[in-house]
Amino acid sequence: MAATGAIDFQAVFDSAPTPLMIMSPDLGIVDMNQAYLDAVGRDRDALVGRHVFDAFPANGETARSLRDSIFRVVRTGKPDFVPVLHYPIPVPDESGVVDRYWSVSHLPILGEHGETRFVLQNTQDVTDLHRAKADAAEKDDSGSASSAKAAPGGRAALGSSILARAQRVQALNDTLLAESAQLRNLFMSAPSFMCVFSGPDFRFELANSAFMSLVGQRELVGRPLREAVPEIVGQGYIELLEKVYRSGEPFVGRQMRIALERSPEQGLEEMYVNFVYQPILAEDGEVAGIFVDGNDVTDHVRAEKSQSLLVRELHHRVRNTLATVQGVMNSTARTAETIEEYTWAFSGRISSLARTHSLLTEEIQQFVSLPSLLRQEIGVYAEGADERVILEGPDVELPSQLAVPLGMTIHELSTNAYRHGALSTSEGHVTVTWTVVPAKEKRILTCRWIESGGPAVTPPERHGFGSMILTRVLSQQIGAKVDATYGTAGFELKAEIPLDIERA
């Protein structure tokens, strides 16, 4: 062969004296050399393109051993061996089979990304060795072992010894493989996410089901981390792996934020993980890889954040409530003329505040329905006469910042209507209407309180707690526009209230 000539690998393959057959990962026969055809007594056209177990039927332990060996090569990308395999093969042009024993090697043919593209099978017919062992055992049982040992070269005993050793090795390998399979099953089904990296480019060697779920069921094994999970770049995790690889010291991460693309349609998803990077040491003490074990703690972290938010909200609510109670107490004291009047007014206002807070605590999102708030406050004075109170408007959800001052306002209006206005007579009515209209930047809740059928009303001579609620709390605290009318037909109030207010 010329030094500059290209190697004809097909010719090398065809002329090799060792029986060789190439199959795909799904056990389809791709090609074989002439030595293989001679060993099995078949034609190429009768084999190429067929499933290996269609071309050479097998069942039971024979099929299991061969299939497991091939799939181990496909999965790991490493060679695998079956020292002795009892595998009868069909006799060409006949209906019977010929009994055969084989020693089988399976070697991976790798693609450019390290994946197993094909499996090369090397088969050696060891039927004669097996029969020699059987003959030696039969002679030993009959007391004629010495004649076997005296045979020229002792070839029968030697063959028997080699085959027996191969079978012991196979039995040991089967035990180790069973233990390995059990450990692999435990690894794959572990609830925590696990993977194994090798080399300084952190190439995936193994990844269990939980890890595959974490990253969206991608092709990982045999690929470097940067290539397999590109969005990890720039988040600090590769830098941590490099530090562990250089130092040989493990790293423990707790509640660390990570963004992964678990689905191409949904984009990056924020998660939080606890994990450990554990270096894997080679025989020379150098780091050969890194074992990763961790848990998705996103729900736990979000629950903690939600709890922290609720605690802050509680502190804010308590401060506001205490300030409101203090304001109610001081204003009531300034406007009440007697202890009895103070006690009655203060008790009613605190009860109103308590009812509003009761509605708030029933809702997880801390919103109160406006119709519920109206029915709760006016119902105290309507005394079951629903026809005297008319409520018309859509269901509007009020945040806590609006619910408390509006609840106090409705309470004052209801109390005044009961004491001095429409509800102080049996013919009086109260009509409350409201709508929500969009504005430039905020939605506006427009409310009208109309009293009719009661005594004529006049503007108050002195400003009490109710006036303070209308002019100070509604106008200044929540930015409402308030217009009150005192006419012969009854009291009327119009209020325009921004719904989307900033928290105080």
Domain with residue 162: its CATH number is 3.30.450.20
Is 2 within the bounds of a domain? no
Last residue of a domain, one of 235, 270, 296: 296
Domain membership of residue 435 (yes or no) is yes
Given a cut of 60, whether residue 147 has pLDDT beyond it is no
Q: Are residues 409 and 463 in the same domain?
A: yes
Nearest to residue 206, comparing CAs of 224, 194, 218, 215? Answer: 194
**Nearest C-alpha neighbor of 355 from the set 408, 302, 413:** 408
137 in a structural domain? yes
Q: Does any domain span residue 153?
A: yes
Q: What is the pTM of this model?
A: 0.43
State the pairing for strand pair 397-399/429-438. Answer: unpaired
d(CA 87, CA 52): 13
Residue bearing the bigger pLDDT, 264 or 204: 204
Structural domain contains residue 3? no
Backbone angles phi, psi at 269, to 5 degrees: -120, 130
Q: H or E stretch including 349?
A: helix 339-362
Q: What percent of the chain has pLDDT over 90?
A: 24
- What sign for the dihedral angle of Cα 404, 347, 465, 427? positive
Residue 116: inside a domain: yes
Residues 287 and 318 in one domain: no
Antiparallel, parallel or unpaired: β 101-110 and 367-369: unpaired
Q: Please tell me whether residues 272 and 407 are part of one structural domain.
A: no
Selection from 155-169, 321-335, 354-368 with the highest mean pLDDT? 321-335
169 in helix, strand or coil?
helix
Q: How many domains does the chain have?
A: 3
Which residues share a beta bridge with 89? 98
Same-domain check for residues 242 and 377: no
- Give the sheet arrangement for strand 29-32, strand by strand: 29-32, 20-23, 116-125, 101-110, 80-86
Q: Choose the final residue of a domain: 188, 214, 242.
A: 188
Judge whether 69 lies within some domain: yes
pLDDT single digits (tens) 306-357: 787 767 766 766 676 666 666 667 766 766 778 887 787 777 767 766 766 6
Are both 54 and 112 inside the same structural domain?
yes
> DSSP character for 7?
P
Same domain for 122 and 200, yes or no, is no
pLDDT in tens, 463-488: 665 666 666 667 777 788 888 888 88
Domain match, 262 and 129 both: no
Domain presence at residue 211: yes
Residues 143, 75 share a domain: yes
Report CA Rg, the chain. Answer: 43
pLDDT band per the 50, 70, 90 thresholds, residue 133: low
CATH number at residue 365: 3.30.565.10
Give the pLDDT band (50/70/90) at residue 366.
Answer: low
In DSSP notation, 395-406 reads --EEEHHHHHHH
- pLDDT recorded at residue 145: 45
Question: What pLDDT band is residue 148 in, cutting at 50, 70 and 90?
Answer: very low
Comparing 66-70, 244-248, 364-368, the range with the smallest average pLDDT is 364-368
Cβ neighbours of 385 (radius 10 Å)? 11
Q: Are residues 136 and 78 in the same domain?
A: yes
More confident residue, 113 or 461: 113
State the DSSP code for 424: G
pLDDT for position 58 = 83
Q: Could you tell me if 223 and 163 lie in one domain?
A: no
Domain that holds residue 367: 309-498
d(CA 416, CA 349): 12
Do 377 and 467 lie in one domain? The reply is yes
- The helix/strand/coil state of 215 is coil
Quickly count: other Cβ atoms within 10 Å of residue 62's Cβ: 18
For residues 353 and 440, membership in a common domain is answered with yes
Residue after which a domain boundary falls, among 153, 188, 223: 188
Mean pLDDT of the chain: 80
